[in-house]
Amino acid sequence: MAAPVAVQEDGEIQFAESAPYDEYVHASTLHTLQRTISDDPGEMSFLVVSQIMELYFGLIRFELREAQRLVRDDDVWGALEPLRRAGLHLEGLNGSWRTLRWMSPADFNRFRGQLGEASGFQSAMYRHMEFALGLKSEPLIRPFRRQKAVYADLTRDIREPSLWDEVIALLARRGNDIPAEALHRDRTRDHEPHPAVEDAWVRVYAEPNPGNDLWLLAEALTEIGEQFSDWRYLHLKAVLRTLGDKPGTAGSSGANWLRRSMGRSVFPELWSARTHM
């Protein structure tokens, strides 16, 4: 859509309709979405940061899916750009936790009780981001069954290959002996590390040079894996700072759940291969 024409009136620039910036960014809509449920001023910070995180989840998923498409098409060089952006977006996402360091248990408790059953555990877009990374668990989508459209999207997404699945298929197309059980598996479950995939990365890292696209791919994925691990650690620290080991909002197990989730590695053979280099 063409931008509205600017006209001069009394020496000021005005627009025939709404400002082009608002037409593009929808800022006036964004700033109507902060509807707090308590009188505590700290809740606004918590709500806005939560919304920023949701936007980052969607953006990171977008970049990962674009990289996945390019890897599937054997365009590794092209995939490096969205992967680099995804790593930087994860860095921004991690920065969001740092802006909540002001929140003590007393600060959170002033409005926590009014959140009812609302919990970050219920973020559908976070699940989509995890699925793109290869972290999958069908029980995690069951809470969305009453949201039919959301549940259908999650069900479809969990059954599709992840970025890591596409990368492993790429390794096979590049001549690595990847067995069928690593290539054709139940997509609704976490990827199980396989020695053949690990061996392939050991061979890739034997030639660390800027002309080796697989080596550059491995480094880009390593950065994403590291930033995502930082995200989970920062999440755990934020929960411990405000809740300790109490149950999370809506009755989740809080810090204990986060501790367990940190054991589910992203791109596992990229990390285990380093032991054999």
Kindly report, residue by residue over 75-114, the tens digit of the pLDDT: 999 999 999 999 999 999 999 999 999 999 999 989 888 8
Residue 220 domain flag = yes
Contact yes or no for 104/112 (Cβ under 8 A): no
Q: What is the structure's pLDDT at 6?
A: 58
Mean pLDDT, the chain, integer: 90
Residue 38 in any domain: the answer is no
Q: How many domains does the chain have?
A: 2
* Residue 145 marked as a ligand binder: no
Distance CA 77, CA 71 (A): 9
Q: How far apart are the C-alpha atoms of 64 and 55, rounded to whole Å?
A: 14
The reply to whether 222 sits in an annotated binding site is: no
The angle subtended at Cα 15 by Cα 11 and Cα 17, nearest 5°, is: 155
Structure tokens at 196: 């053949």
Own/partner pairs, 158-161, CB within 8 angstroms, 24+ separation: 158/131, 158/187, 158/188, 159/187, 159/188, 160/131, 160/187, 161/68, 161/187
Percentage of the chain exceeding pLDDT 90 = 68
If asked whether residues 158 and 262 sit together in one domain, one would say yes
Residues 27 and 133 in one domain: no
Residue 249, marked binder: yes
Percentage of the chain beyond pLDDT 70 is: 91
Residue 29: alpha-carbon gap to chain centroid = 24
- The reported pLDDT for the residue numbered 117 is 66
Q: Are residues 27 and 56 in the same domain?
A: no
When pLDDT is cut at 50, 70 and 90, the band that residue 9 belongs to is low
- Please state at what angle helix 213-242 crosses helix 105-112, rounded to 10 degrees: 80
| Residue 256 reports pLDDT greater than 90 | no
Domain coverage including residue 125: 45-276
Confidence band for 246, pLDDT divided at 50, 70 and 90: confident
**pLDDT greater than 60 at residue 5:** no
Weakest mean pLDDT among 12-16, 75-79, 186-190, 216-220: 12-16
Of the candidates 220, 218, 161, 219, which has an alpha carbon nearest to the alpha carbon of residue 185?
161
* Shared domain check, 88 and 8: no
pLDDT band at 41 (very low <50, low <70, confident <90, very high): very high
CA 150-154-160 angle, 5° bins: 150
The answer as to whether 37 is a domain residue is no
Q: 62-71, 146-155, 262-271: which has the minimum mean pLDDT?
A: 262-271
Residue 70 has pLDDT above 70, yes or no: yes
Q: Which residues pair with 189 in a beta bridge?
A: 137
Residues 65 and 110 in one domain: yes
